Amino acid sequence: MLCLTPNANFATFKVPEALLTKCSAAFPDLGENECSSPEPVILDDSSEAFETFVNYLYDSGSSCIFSPEPKLKPVLELLCIAHKYCAEDIEGKAMEIAQKLIQPNVLESHLINGFTALDVFRAGIAVNSAAISDTAWELVLVMSRSGNLSDRLLLDEGTRSGRRKYWESAYYQVMLNQGPCICWTRDPALTDKEHRRLMVGHARCSTDWEAFQRRIADGNFQALNHPIDYTRAERKNIIFSSSYWPVPYVSQYRYANVGVDHILPLLAREGLPVWDIVGRLELLKKSAPEVISKYASDTLLTVRKHFYRYFLLDEDDDYPSN
């Protein structure tokens, strides 16, 4: 019998060792620890989550994952514990249910009583599930845009995730949240380095958009040769000024000059700022005339490929690389 205490000073669970080792080879590594011992094994799990796991071990048929109407919170708790302790059979069953519950048209109905998209996102990261974390991250961004999540917390979550796509997405969203004032004021909750990244991103996104628009005016519809793919030595010269940007690549292929007048009404109607290059390209991809739509789509692929570079400083070595 093993005595397990998730988070010291909480309830101790007395679980037969055979029951634990049946589902996972990780538990014997906890060592011998009879319940008569005054010091149970301390685990860094929440008592609520570990109780969900223990309940499954004793009576799997009554587990949350076999409920006619499973709730996402306990399913994710079970999934995270099973993943952590390599209980592969349990993890597989919990993952199957979780992926059904995180569908965009279902997920929001489970976000109640303090259980938020941020909790779902963290669970997805913990179990290495892009399906869970990607879906939840979209709602996390909605929370940020609506003012229900601070810029400080959004940057922290993007960085702690260890995934470059969330890191760059967090910086982009904070840049949009802070708007033009980012160029002359600094949010006291952000570090100097974070603020400089946002200023650089603001300038680079604006410059890329201007380059895109110049190409349309010239009738040049070959996808942008990304102008911020610099070496480390070159990047340091452009931190605070767009005047150092190279002349945009000009293609030899030209089409009929359709002019920017085709896109100005669309942009004016949506009110997207110049530095929201992704928002503007997405809009043109969906709503512009065919030749501009295709050009916007091609350019968007290039922008997304190099997206993280918008926010790189010369000294940056601490951003997620995957």
Q: What is the mean pLDDT of the chain?
A: 81
Tell me which fold the domain 2-149 belongs to. Answer: Potassium Channel Kv1.1; Chain A (3.30.710)
Q: What is the C-alpha separation between 71 and 259, in angstroms, rounded?
A: 53
pLDDT at 2 over 80: no
Residue-wise pLDDT tens digits, 112-161: 989 999 999 999 999 999 999 999 999 999 999 999 999 999 999 999 99
Please report, rounded to a whole number, the percentage of residues in the chain having pLDDT higher than 90: 46
pLDDT at 249 over 70: no
Would you place residue 40 in the very low, low, confident or very high pLDDT band (cuts 50, 70, 90)?
Answer: low
pLDDT, mean of residues 17-37? 64
pLDDT, mean of residues 214-226? 71
Q: What is the C-alpha separation between 294 and 278, in angstroms, rounded?
A: 15
Residue-wise pLDDT tens digits, 60-75: 888 999 999 999 999 9
Would you place residue 105 in the very low, low, confident or very high pLDDT band (cuts 50, 70, 90)?
Answer: confident
pLDDT for the residue 121 = 98
pLDDT at 252 over 50: no
Give the pairing of strands 13-15 and 2-6: antiparallel
Domain spans in the chain, listed from the N-terminal domain onward:
2-149, 192-311
